[in-house]
């Protein structure tokens, strides 16, 4: 039977003035709304106990399995307010399907696509006051997640699992907005190996990327670029985004999502809209040498990071240990900005939605 996530209203929701103050300068992931969706899965009986109620801390037992074995997966999507006040999701069914794939990889139960969509809609509807207007690229970031909620020591899949959706009003992911981000290329650390969890959106992937991200910050860079774990010669993805290179002839290049890279919904959307912008697109392995030689010779003129949080953010330069920084010739390139604007226009309802990607919530 489908879950309904019935709403239990918060007894003392945030005052309108407090919401207004937070929406004026939300930052990213700093403030949380009044409600959250919850459901619990039990081995044998499946999903139930679903509701959308007041945002409340969890009581975590010290033997809680997720603390020890990291059996956890999550998603990230946004609700956008259009100029007429309506609120919309962007391709949420893609997030639902990816959560299913991630859960399967982590030995967690799967949440049906329909239940995922109901949970997300329920939180957005209950907390619609928290959806900022689209100015300054603000939106309501939604974080569905699922974790082992059983108390035991021993390595096995949990028999009780919790699913939740929380929401946070956000501005641009990089505080500098659309200014180019600098990238640190690591050939020391790996994000994922063949047969590992790289294609799943699980907390462990991010935990293992933090030391490389710290190295990036220490070198004045905003993001880290990982190469393949086996040879460190092929580009994979950034710590929290996919990557595209753009050639002087206007062709997009991005590595395939062959098991070690997260199958980004933004990446997929860009590959879909590229032809309408007159851009070719090639999905194929891209060697680190090709990036270095291509930027140095001027064959690669633009590069950008993409993801739900960062949308499309231009890359300014690549840094590598012991090498001179590589500057892209186009810092806010024509192709990068055309893709960025087209995507934002679809998300915020300013452009036509030829692909049926927008879903109205309220
Ligand atoms: C590691 C990683 N790669 C890529 C992406 C981009 O995925 P999406 O476009 O679905 O947000 C994300 C963002 O969630 C990510 O964390």
Q: pLDDT digit string (tens) for 34-51?
A: 999 999 999 999 999 999
Element (H, E) at 46: strand 46-54
Percent of the chain topping pLDDT 90: 96
User: ∠ at Cα 128 (36, 124), nearest 5°?
Assistant: 45
Cβ atoms of 124 and 132 within 8 Å: the answer is: no
Angle between helices 92-105 and 113-126 (to 10 degrees): 120
Q: Is 265 in the pocket of ligand 1 (CB under 6 A)?
A: yes
Closest CA to 317 of 242, 225, 228, 212: 225
Residue nearest to ligand 1 atom 1, measured at CA: 240
Q: What is the pLDDT of residue 331?
A: 87
- Which residues are paired to 307 by β-bridges? 311
Q: What is the pLDDT of residue 258?
A: 83
Q: Is 242 in the pocket of ligand 1 (CB under 6 A)?
A: yes
pLDDT in tens, 47-92: 999 999 999 999 999 999 999 999 999 999 999 999 999 999 999 9
Domains and CATH numbers, the chain: 16-170 (3.30.470.10), 181-347 (3.20.10.10)
Q: Is 76 in the pocket of ligand 1 (CB under 6 A)?
A: yes
- Tell me how far the alpha carbon of residue 144 lies from the centroid of ligand 1, in angstroms: 14
pLDDT in tens, 326-357: 999 988 999 999 999 999 999 999 999 999 99
pLDDT in tens, 213-262: 999 999 999 999 999 999 999 999 999 999 999 999 999 999 999 899 99
Backbone dihedral angles phi then psi of residue 90, each to the nearest 5 degrees: -115, 110
- Give the distance from CA 118 to its chain's centroid: 20
The CA distance from 142 to 237, in Å, is 22
Q: What is the pLDDT of residue 361?
A: 98
Average pLDDT over residues 309-317: 95
176 — pLDDT class (breaks 50, 70, 90)? confident
Q: Is 197 in the pocket of ligand 1 (CB under 6 A)?
A: no
Going by C-beta distance under 8 Å and a sequence separation of 6 or more, which residues neighbour residue 64? Answer: 148, 149, 150, 151
Backbone dihedral angles phi then psi of residue 11, each to the nearest 5 degrees: -70, -30
Average pLDDT over residues 193-210: 96
The CA distance from 162 to 106, in Å, is 14
Q: What is the pLDDT of residue 178?
A: 86
Residue 62 token pair: 């010290």
Residue 160 token pair: 């009780």
């Amino acid at each position: 039977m489908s879950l309904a996530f019935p709403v239990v209203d918060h007894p003392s929701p945030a005052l309108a003035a407090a919401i207004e103050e937070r929406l004026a300068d939300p930052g990213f992931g700093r403030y949380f709304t009044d409600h959250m969706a919850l459901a619990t899965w039990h081995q044998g009986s499946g999903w139930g106990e679903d509701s959308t109620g007041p945002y409340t801390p969890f009581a975590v037992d010290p033997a809680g399995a997720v603390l020890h074995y990291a059996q956890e997966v999550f998603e990230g999507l946004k609700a956008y307010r259009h100029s007429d006040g309506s609120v919309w999701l962007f391709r949420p069914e893609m997030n639902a399907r990816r959560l299913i794939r991630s859960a399967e990889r982590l030995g967690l139960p799967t949440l049906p696509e329909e239940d995922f969509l109901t949970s997300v809609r329920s939180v957005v509807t209950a907390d619609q006051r928290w959806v900022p207007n689209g100015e300054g690229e603000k939106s309501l970031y939604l974080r569905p997640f699922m974790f082992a909620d059983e108390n035991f020591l021993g390595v096995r899949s949990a028999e009780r699992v919790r699913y939740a959706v929380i929401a946070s009003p956000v501005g641009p992911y990089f505080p500098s907005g659309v200014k180019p981000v600098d990238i640190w290329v690591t050939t020391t650390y790996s994000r994922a190996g063949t047969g590992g969890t790289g294609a799943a959106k699980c907390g462990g992937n991010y935990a293992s990327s933090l030391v490389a991200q710290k190295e990036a910050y220490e070198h004045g860079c905003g993001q880290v670029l990982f190469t393949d774990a086996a040879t460190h010669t092929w580009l994979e993805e950034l710590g929290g985004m996919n990557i595209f290179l753009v050639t002087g002839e206007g062709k997009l290049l991005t590595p395939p999502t062959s098991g070690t890279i997260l199958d980004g919904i933004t990446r997929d959307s860009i590959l879909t809209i590229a032809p309408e912008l007159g851009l070719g697109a090639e999905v194929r392995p891209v060697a680190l040498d090709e990036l270095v030689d291509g930027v140095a010779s001027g064959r690669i003129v633009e590069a950008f990071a993409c993801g739900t949080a960062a949308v499309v953010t231009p890359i300014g330069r690549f840094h590598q240990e012991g090498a001179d920084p590589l500057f892209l010739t186009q810092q806010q390139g024509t192709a990068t900005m055309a893709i960025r604007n087209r995507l934002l226009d679809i998300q915020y309802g300013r452009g036509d939605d030829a692909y049926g990607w927008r879903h109205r919530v309220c």
